[in-house]
Structure 1
Amino acid sequence: MVEVQNLGTMIQSRFGQTAAIRFDGERYTVCFASNGVPAVLQEFDLLSGELLFRESIPNTDCCWGMCATENGDIYLGGINDGVLYRYSSDGLMPIGTNPSDRWVWQLYSTHGRVFGGTYPGAKVFEYNIETGEFHDYGIVKEGQDYVRGLTADEQSIYAGIGAAKHVVRIDRTTGELEELDLVGVSGSQGFVDRLWVIDGYFFVSCNYTEVRVFRLDTLVQVGAFPYDNMLINSRVRHPGRVYFKQGRKLCYWDIAGESWSETEICTLPEGRVKALEWVSVDGEPGAESGTEISRSDGQQAGTEESTLALVTVNAQMALIRLLDGQVIIRSLDIEPQPILIHCLETGDDGKLYIGGYQRGFSLFDPDIDEIQHNFELFPQSEGMTFLGGVAYFGTYTHAHMFRFDPMRPIDFGTTSEHNPGWIGELGHAQDRPFAMTRGGGRVIAGTVPDYGLRGGALAMYDPAAGQWEVYPDIVPEHSIQGVAYKDGLIYGGTSIWGGLGAAPAEGPARMFIWDVAKRMKLAEFVPEIPDMDRPPCMIGELSAGPDGLIWGAIDGTLFAMDPMTTRIVKSRVFFPSEYKYSKYRPIYLRWGADGYLYTTLARRLIVVDPVTLEYMQLSDAIVGNMALDHHGRLYYAQNKELYRLILPENPFSLNPDN
């Protein structure tokens, strides 16, 4: 019989995608929704860091939308069920399900209303705080999936769209939609993710990294500046200035001069800003335990003190005194939360390398059942491979590639000198390197492009040279979902699905052959598989089998190809081609020391006899990730937990032939 062991959670992290600063009538506090299974809302005293409240948020592992109202109440929404929550002195309470979508991306509050932008319908809703009623404004932009940017006044709602950028103004009385023609923004790939109307100017955030400034009356652009996700206008000390963080610097946009400048404050915490607010602080805030104080030179004393408070994605809080440049930084005492397992592989060293959703990477020793390292802020790993005992990671977003040598001292960072460390960005508008393998002394990756785009890339890394070679659009408009190496050639499989928000490309999916030495494509073809129930939409993974054949998966179908002739030698449709689950994660193919092939065809965990193509299903679970350790034990992920299957020497002894 199969022995099933639940090994528990593997990755814990302390970060969150949304926060808010509020005044509860007595003091300023920070509300922070940390990612985890489940997500958790936590509130801290802004000055002392004291934990005031902590409670799980049901049915969600992440919150993107949160806002504070005029009376200090907090509203937030998750990504799974569309429920809107209110946090107040009465605690955290669900107040209803929004009528638009299950995924709330953005919330904004003004004049007794809470407005929400959603995914995947690109809709906007309104909640009347006094009456408790919802109103659905419907789809804001046909053909788009996301409303990520949101602001409103008494007459209008402004919605920022993606995965092609658009801004739509909604008349709150009539519901009429008017698209604003923003030159250089409208129709281009990406997201309008935040919006502000300040003193007759329209501040339009693009892709979380750049703000473009337009005059609201004419929609003429007057400038742009880089930033870290949030901005706020000065109310007292410097009217006409709009402050924002860029890197570790505090900067501002000058409305009168229509230009931006850096202040001399340059010691802010790294990371995207999730909350930014003016606060009134009585006296000088003291240095609490766990705080870091710095003072910028050259600050001129003023007659009024203004203090900015900000919170980053990594749960760091900063108090910034513009009077003298003093910055107090504190790490919020966030309780680590278990993270969804997103990627799973066995390394050359026999350890399990486990990547988390949005953040996190753990190294698990299966011989002693111990997590040896947990990197909380490691970026989301889509794919992994190993070369010369070194682990290589393809991460989201923007296809940043990392390397980890388990034999070197640990020093996680974002340069090639760090360990784990960054070794390049693939560029060419690529986003998700799911397909990874090794061959010919190189790391090989196949990618899915950025949001709203079609067309992946093939990438190769030579560790000796420390350089990437990237070849986009090997098969035009197709992503690359499978790569295998044999005798100087790369065999690739494609997918019709591009970045999120993009319509599928014309099918069917194809295979290609790439000559590594000549740097050229030798062939492109659709594999001729007998009895296929439909043309392939996604081919991958691919694997160079011990029998000399190239093996491949197409959802519920397995095939083996002669690499010399590209003839399909054997195949079987095990399950219907429904593509019910991920359109991006390849089907795993792993060869056991017993000679059998272990795979996740149609997201079922099965073992296949490569000679007869008989199979046995090993679990009833829906499985996205799996790995075999060096002892032949099988691992698979279920949400935040890792499971191990211990099989008999002959797994087919468990079941009659299939």
Structure 2
Amino acid sequence: MRNSASLTRRSALSLAATAGFLAAAGPPVAASAAGRPVSMPATVDSALSGLRSIAPGAGIKRVYKDVFTALSFLDMLLVTDPAGVPKLITATAGDTNQFQVCDAATGKQEFVANTPAGEKISSRLLWDPAKGAIYAGCGGELLRWTFAGRKLVSLGQVAPKATFVSGLALGPAGKIWGGSYPNGITWTWDPGARRFTSFTAFDEVTDYVRAIGIWKGTVFAGTGSRNPHIVSFAQATPQKRTVIPLPSAGRTGFVHRIIVRGDKLFVFAEDTDNETRCFVYDPVTRRWGTEQRSASYAFAEGTGTTTWRIAKSSLVLTDTATMKDQVLCPVDMGLTRSVLVLGDRIMVAGNHAGKPVTAAYSVKSAKETRRVSPKVSRGSFAIQSLIGSDHGLLYFGGYQGKGLASLDPGTDTRWQSPGTEGISQIEHLMQYDRNRLYAGSYGSAKLYSFDRRQINEGDAAFDHITTLRDPYMQSRPFAWTAAAGKVLAGTVPEYGLRGGALVIIDPVKNELETVLNKFIPEQSIVGLTGYGDIAYGTTSGRGGYGVDDHPGDACVFAYNARTGRTVWTSYIKGHRDLYSPILIAGVLYVATINGLLALEPAKGKLQETLAVRNRTARPGYQSARALRIPGTSKIVHSSGDIVLLIDVKERTRSVLGKTGFGTQIGVMSGGRLFISYQNNHLAELHLGPAPQ
């Protein structure tokens, strides 16, 4: 491994289906001069497609449940229950076991629950000691759990259009302040009146408020993803606002967290080098102080001007008046999350070697006195990416999960990579040869190769090729292919930006060769396939989160990977996202959310629209996917829960499944079809109709 740093940031994708099923290294490099763009009308004939409907498939052959499980924590929080006993509260990534309570001293699990709305916890945890309550954001709602009631309940929608809640802070009289997405809305929850109040947006470019800190009646809100800054206002007059610029702020990024201790604000935000730093702000003098380069989010509640926190991998007592640290002892944890002071005893919670841990430290003896591994239940993750292989295994990544997983559908044998190699959520992957796979990880667009012959060697099986965030500002690798002896990847940019990259890798040296940044201006590259020297690609007008979609048409392009020149670029009128290019019998097919488009591969001229549905939706990253059944003229198409089999030679279509299916498809060389099902499971589908 060359680099093991990881970053996980993710908000949910959505597809609004409006109609039902009808009858389915180095500096940035400029892109090569493209062939002359052509715009083609995407017409639909009166019969929609001219495809003959035949008997549906026999349905599901077998379901493999919960194929990607892991312990991946969004947050940990140490608190004391009403009896004064320390407890560990965890927010676990995934779709199951999302909220858990353990005894911090013994590690015994005392409570576990899924979120009531079926959404995922999105915020850090907030503790109200006066009410014995824990609060968390979940989708666009606020959740609460109390030691008295021991039930995770939703308090309701925080703001009318909110889909993501973050930045929780406790104000006077138990009022909760928070931030949300979209439109960068701040809001409050009054537990006495049981009422939410939301306030107007800060400005036109702020989509997120991810951080909230409260100091002596003043609220400080951190924004993103464009022009990140702080907005302050008195709690009594939230519409009267003051903008506080960040020191060395990047053009895009976030204020991730604001921690208030004494008369100092510890502000975690991204700088001009796209690195998250801790900046210290003095609200009395209204000046920025010394940057804390090795600070952690883990702070205990302060007493006066002193607070215990984790800095430089040590437990330190900080005097916020002088900003001097008194080091107690080292803390042997890979990632610290929470600090709790219990007299002479300091408790710290975090992760070590991919597992949760709590440890106790004595102030008197200045050393660790106890360490416990809490009994936390693993979470089950939605399938984010999936491929089949020619050696009989399925490979996949999990939404909010870390690393690579595989399944042998013949024996149900499962494997997951260790949690230390640095791979976060895998957006897409491909098999390059019999033993090598390539995978793209969100965020920062980290590209890896994996050698399955070294599967038992842990990190040694993975080679980190490159990270595309700096200087290319790319985030999500959604496309892979091989052409002209090269490996190519296509990406979606970072938050607040538009314009993906086409990445060229030398598979012999396993090194980055070229990055064609913003290859198709304003568009993300979400589909690739290679035939000989030519790589065909498709784009989407959806950029990084927090930026408006590109209003123009999406395109299909042909790129010669041997000569490094673009052959042609064809913009398809009326389509803002296109997926999964496939070449069959001299025709290039690409997927839409409504079916397939047929293009002439030499110049990209649109020949035919094979529309099997009639819907409109915001452009996405993987709102549709199509794969060829090897050796046939049949294409599996999945979008909006429905899976179809389209035979482009015989001009037929059949329904393989109608409910609960995703767009993550894997096809084996022998023709077996696997697809994500009900988010967390894999289903094998029959391709033919049920026997009569």
From 251, 263, 272, give the equivalent of 1:200: 263
1:20 is matched with 77
Tell me which residue corresponds to 2:431: 386
Q: 1:348 to 1:425 in 2, by over 3 A?
A: farther
Equivalent of 2:113 in 55, 71, 96? 55
Picking from 70, 89, 97, the partner of 2:129 is 70
2:3 is matched with none
Tell me which residue corresponds to 2:333.
Answer: 269
2:176 counterpart of 1:114: yes
Change (3 A) 1:518 1:95: closer
- Higher RCO, 1 vs 2 (CA within 8 Å, ≥6 residues apart): 2
TM-score w.r.t. the length of structure 1 is: 0.84
Alpha-carbon distance between aligned partners in 2 of 1:217 and 1:146, rounded to the nearest angstrom: 26
Tell me how far 1:13 sits from its aligned partner: 1.0
Equivalent pair of 1:408/1:419 in contact (CA under 8 Å): yes
> Does residue 280 of structure 1 match 2:342?
yes
When the two chains are superposed, the root-mean-square deviation of aligned CA atoms in Å is 3.1
Does structure 1 residue 232 correspond to structure 2 residue 232? no
Task: Report Cα offsets for 1:275-305 as digits up to 9, x if no partner.
Answer: x223226xxxxxxxxxxxxxxxxxxxxxxx5
Q: For residues 376-414 of structure 1, what are the alpha-carbon distances to aligned partners after superposition, in whole Å with 9 as ceiling and x for unaligned?
A: 67521101111122121101111112332222242433x
1:169 corresponds to: 232
Is the 2:212–2:222 contact (alpha carbons within 8 Å) kept by the matching residues of 1? Answer: yes
Aligned counterparts of 2:295 and 2:119: Cα–Cα separation in 1: 23
Counterpart of 2:560 (choices 510, 515, 524) is 515
User: Secondary structure in 1 aligned to 2:614?
Assistant: coil
Contact 1:168 1:177 in 2 (8 A): no
Change (3 A) 1:356 1:129: same
Q: Return the alpha-carbon distance in structure 2 between the equivalents of residues 573 and 228 of structure 1.
A: 54
Deviation at 1:601, TM superposition (A): 4.9
- CA shift in 2, pair 1:331/1:633, >3 Å: same
Supply the distance in 2 between the matched residues of 1:601 and 1:14 (Cα, whole angstroms): 30
Point out the more displaced range, 357-366 or 605-614.
Answer: 605-614
Aligned to 2:198: 136
Please state if 1:540 is matched with 2:579: yes
Deviation at 1:573, TM superposition (A): 2.7
- Relative distance call for 1:31 and 1:601 in structure 2 (3 A) is closer
Match of 1:644 in 2: 684
Report deviation, 1:453. 1.0
Larger mean Cα displacement after TM superposition, 250-259 or 331-340: 250-259
Partner SS state of residue 407, structure 1: helix
Greater displacement, 419-428 / 142-151: 419-428
**1:538 alignment partner, SS class:** coil
Matched, 1:524 2:581: no
Partner of 1:284: none
Q: 1:465 to 1:420 in 2, by over 3 A?
A: closer
Matches of 1:199 and 1:26 in 2, distance apart?
Answer: 25
Whole-angstrom distance in 1 between the partners of 2:613 and 2:590: 15
Provide the rounded CA distance (Å) in 2 between the counterparts of 1:654 and 1:178. 69
CA distance in 1, matches of 2:486, 2:358: 42
| DSSP-derived class of the 2:448 partner | strand
Q: Which amino acid aligns with 1:407?
A: R
In the TM superposition, residue 235 of structure 1 has moved relative to its aligned partner by 4.8
Aligned to 1:44: 102
Q: Distance in 1 between matches of 2:154 and 2:394?
A: 42
CA contact (8 A) 2:267 2:279 kept: yes
Q: Of residues 383, 386, 395 in structure 2, which corresponds to 1:353?
A: 395
Instruction: Please state how far the C-alpha of 1:35 moved relative to its aligned partner.
Output: 2.5
Q: Distance in 2 between matches of 1:422 and 1:574?
A: 41
CA distance in 1, matches of 2:257, 2:211: 4
Q: CA deviation at 1:363?
A: 0.8
Percent of paired sites with the same residue: 21
Alignment check: 8 A CA contact 2:305 2:320 kept: no
Which segments of 5 or more consecutive residues in structure 2 lack a partner in the other structure?
1-56
Distance 1:219 1:513 in 2: 55
TM-score by length of 2: 0.81
Secondary structure of the 1:17 match is strand
Corresponding residue number in structure 1 for 2:484? 440
Between the aligned partners of 1:70 and 1:550, the Cα distance in structure 2 is: 62
Partner of 2:11: none
Q: 1:467 aligns with which of 501, 511, 527?
A: 511
Distance 1:8 1:280, change over 3 A: same
Q: Is 1:404 matched up with 2:450?
A: yes
Within the candidate set 182, 186, 208, 2:245 is matched to 182
Decide which moves more: 354-363 or 89-98. 89-98
Distance 1:253 1:399, change over 3 A: farther
| 1:342 corresponds to 2:380 | no
* Alignment-mate amino acid for residue 104 of structure 2: L
Q: Does 1:209 align with 2:276?
A: yes
Q: Specify the SS of the correspondent of 2:151.
A: strand
Q: Identify the residue that residue 28 of structure 2 maps to in structure 1.
A: none
Q: State whether residues 188 and 196 of structure 2, in contact with CA within 8 Å, keep that contact through their aligned partners in structure 1.
A: yes
Give the letter aligned to residue 400 of structure 2. Answer: Q
Which string of whole-angstrom CA distances, capped at 9 and with x for unpartnered residues, describes residues 110-158 of structure 1? 4322222222342222223444443333434444332210112452222
Whether contact under 8 Å (2:579, 2:625) holds in the other structure is yes
Match 1:572 to one of 590, 598, 610: 610
8 Å Cα contact 1:16/1:62 also seen in 2? no
Measured at CA, do residues 374 and 546 of structure 1 come closer, stay the same or move farther in structure 2, by a change above 3 Å?
same
Point out where structure 1 has 5 or more consecutive residues left out of the alignment: 282-304, 528-533
1:482–1:586 Cα contact (<8 Å) kept: no
| Cα distance in 2 for residues equivalent to 1:31 and 1:106 | 17
Contact 2:199–2:239, Cα closer than 8 Å, also in 1: no
Q: Is the 8 A contact 2:428 2:478 kept in 1?
A: yes
* The one of 288, 291, 303 aligned to 1:221: 288
- 1:463 Cα deviation (Å)? 2.7
Structure 2 letter corresponding to 1:647: L
- For residues 305 and 137 of structure 2, what CA distance do their matches in structure 1 show? 36
Matched, 1:453 2:494: no
CA distance in 2, matches of 1:95, 1:611: 52
Match of 2:166 among 87, 105, 110: 105
Cα deviation code 1:416-446 (max 9, x no counterpart): xx22453321231111001112233332210
Kindly state the Cα deviation for residue 353 of structure 1 after the two structures are TM-superposed.
Answer: 0.8
Contact 1:268 1:318 in 2 (8 A): no
Question: In structure 2, how many angstroms separate the alpha carbons of the residues matched to 1:183 and 1:119?
Answer: 21
Paired residue for 1:302? none
Aligned residues: 613
Q: Are 1:278 and 1:309, in contact at CA under 8 Å, matched by a contact in 2? A: yes
Distance verdict in 2 for CA 1:576–1:186, change over 3 Å? farther
> What is the CA–CA distance in structure 1 between the aligned matches of 2:129 and 2:569, rounded to whole Å?
60
Q: 1:123 to 1:39 in 2, by over 3 A?
A: farther
CA contact (8 A) 1:126 1:136 kept: yes
Superposed displacement of residue 352, structure 1: 0.7
**3-state secondary structure, aligned to 2:657:** coil
Partner secondary structure for residue 663 of structure 2: coil
184 and 254 in structure 1: CA distance in 2 versus 1, 3 angstrom threshold? same
Contact 1:166 1:179 in 2 (8 A): no
Q: 1:476 aligns with which of 501, 516, 521?
A: 521
SS for the counterpart of 1:643 is strand
Corresponding position of 2:52: none
Preserved CA contact (<8 Å) 2:430 2:438: yes
Amino acid at match of 1:384: L
CA distance in 2, matches of 1:136, 1:3: 47
Q: AA paired with 1:433? A: P
Question: Are the aligned partners of 2:230 and 2:246 in contact in 1 as well (CA < 8 Å)?
Answer: no
Alignment of 1:297-312 (within 5 A): 305=344, 307-312=346-351
Give 1:266 deviation, angstroms. 4.9
